[in-house]
Structure 1
């Protein structure tokens, strides 16, 4: 599923219908092969009184949450269940979350915020937890305030990865190092001053016994990293490698953003946002754009080299991108 932040519209797309990648990536090729997002694939369209509202979409299981990130802490969160096609409402965050970091572990959602206290001239940390989902017919969503993490402020998470134990999440915080959070014991551990080699989220691939995500050191490539034990509090470094194959081109001026979604069985879906030919994001507030979706498998060859294989791509035209929204479309696998 793809959620467009500007129109708050969610599309359900069939990745199995994507044709094999031809390897051609010229401007003319992109424009001529792109098709419109099909109207019959719209799963839900949510209206909002403020189209420039800064929000965050988070997926847990079959549910997509639309969190409102602004100074108004009284706005409820919309929840769309793709399994039942029903929309529900859960309580608003306990406090405003302008610069929040959202973490998902199992069926729970954690939110870390480092707000700036203009009265006392310092950063104020906070942490909240939402979950689990209420049972049908009784109960309700509930936010719980937790003790903030013991990390020097401000907290800017550069990458995150859930451990295969299913209860521990690793976070790399810019200029701070890498930490893990045990959601069962609500305990934090610092593992070193190094950072995970990923942009945003990485996923555990059982077939490779490693975390896989977009590489932060070589843009356009995939990074494969060994899994760190939550009990290893003195790890000085970690072992990782870069997949040789380039999965997207971030060097050209039309590139806007890219994100990676794990499908399962070593297969991934890449969502790349590209401006349409002739549009300039620096001079126009409403920019027409293209969405490039690519599916591929990350496999270890007989030689031991890890490659991205069986790539299939599809290009879609998206009406426009509101620069004020500061949010590119987001992809989920449900």
Structure 2
């Protein structure tokens, strides 16, 4: 949109209500303001693997792990073309940091966080938690990772696997959708409570690619808590019965992103 072909950043913030009587009378009572951030991304948006916010300073530092390089990549300055590289097992991951107050991107380190998608800070575990990735794709596990410093570039942090595999990314349903969108999303609800949201087929779903599957797909929610065991292992507890919801229309471009308010 408007020159943001490689990705742009936007800000949604709560602002004071309008004081002008005419603006109020015309229905402009919304306190929320949506605006763009004039900051050029040092990578192509399609290269993003995971996003994490540092808990210190009110969340002023954002970390983004990507795969491949770009035109403004500080490690390949003047060599990148800004286009999506060919990803694979041998493609290096890199992590960038963004300071919200200064509006500047920094090449943080030449390794990536072990997550795919949104990363959540769990206060009880004092760690980042998210869906684990293997070679750039979901592998069905959840992992936790030590918080990294926003000012120093340390060695790759320690991370832990959850002992239970929550879903199988190699099922037919996952293979159908992995090329167009991520079929699973993790929402954090506080107090180490999480909700896994998946797009799954019904039993009569045909094993073939279709531009529209109608009511043959459903959304499945799985709620649980995460705790560290006696030996420091990450494990799930307090499982609640899964709940599934039908929705009437579905196509390959549809994505489910879960968040908690």
Report TM bin, short chain. 0.7 to 0.9
Q: CA deviation at 1:286?
A: 2.2
C-alpha displacement at 1:300, in angstroms?
0.8
Relative to the length of structure 2, the TM-score reads: 0.73
Q: For residue 142 of structure 1, report the CA deviation from its aligned partner.
A: 4.9
Pair 1:209–1:282, CA change in 2 (3 A): same
Match of 2:61 in 1: 168
- Structure 1 or 2: larger strand share? 1
User: Is 1:225 aligned to residue 145 of structure 2?
Assistant: yes
Give distance in 1, aligned partners of 2:244 and 2:99: 40
2:33 match: secondary structure:
coil
Task: Kindly tell me the number of residue pairs found equivalent between the two proteins.
Answer: 212
1:141 pairs with 2:61: no
Q: 1:321 to 1:209 in 2, by over 3 A?
A: same
1:333 and 2:260 correspond: yes
**1:289, 1:317 within 8 Å by CA — same for their partners in 2?**
no
Please give the alpha-carbon distance, in whole angstroms, between the structure 1 residues aligned to 2:220 and 2:43: 38
1:284 CA drift (Å): 2.7
* Contiguous gaps of at least 5 residues in structure 1: 1-72, 74-94, 98-112, 115-125
Counterparts of 2:43 and 2:34 in 1: how far apart (Å)?
28
**Helix, strand or coil at the partner of 2:55:** coil
Q: How much has 1:271 moved relative to structure 2?
A: 0.4
Question: In structure 1, what is the equivalent of residue 120 of structure 2?
Answer: 203
Question: Aligned-residue CA RMSD in angstroms?
Answer: 2.3
Structure 1 residues 1-334: aligned runs within 5 Å: 73=1, 95=2, 97=4, 113-114=5-6, 127-138=8-19, 141-149=33-41, 151-153=42-44, 156-165=47-56, 166-176=59-69, 177-217=94-134, 219-233=139-153, 235-255=154-174, 256=177, 257-280=183-206, 282-287=208-213, 288-324=216-252, 326-334=253-261
1:135-178 deviation digits (Å, cap 9, x = unpaired): 234477352441313x2557621101100121111000112410
1:322 counterpart SS class? coil
Which position in structure 2 is the counterpart of 1:35? Answer: none
Whole-Å separation in 2 of the counterparts to 1:179 and 1:265? 29
Q: How far apart are residue 198 of structure 1 and its match?
A: 0.6
C-alpha contact (below 8 Å) 2:220/2:242 kept by paired residues? yes
* Partner SS, residue 254 of structure 1: helix
CA contact (8 A) 1:254 1:276 kept: no
| CA spacing shift, 1:210–1:271, aligned 2, 3 Å | same
SS at 1:190's partner residue? strand
Contact 2:220 2:245 in 1 (8 A): no
TM-superposed deviation, 1:196: 0.8
User: 1:250: how far off?
Assistant: 2.1
How many angstroms apart in 1 are the aligned matches of 2:49 and 2:62?
Answer: 13
Any unmatched runs of 5+ in structure 2?
Answer: 20-30, 70-93, 178-182
Q: CA deviation at 1:96?
A: 5.8
Asked which structure has the greater RCO (Cα within 8 Å, sep 6+), the reply is 1
Specify the alignment match of 2:73 in structure 1.
none
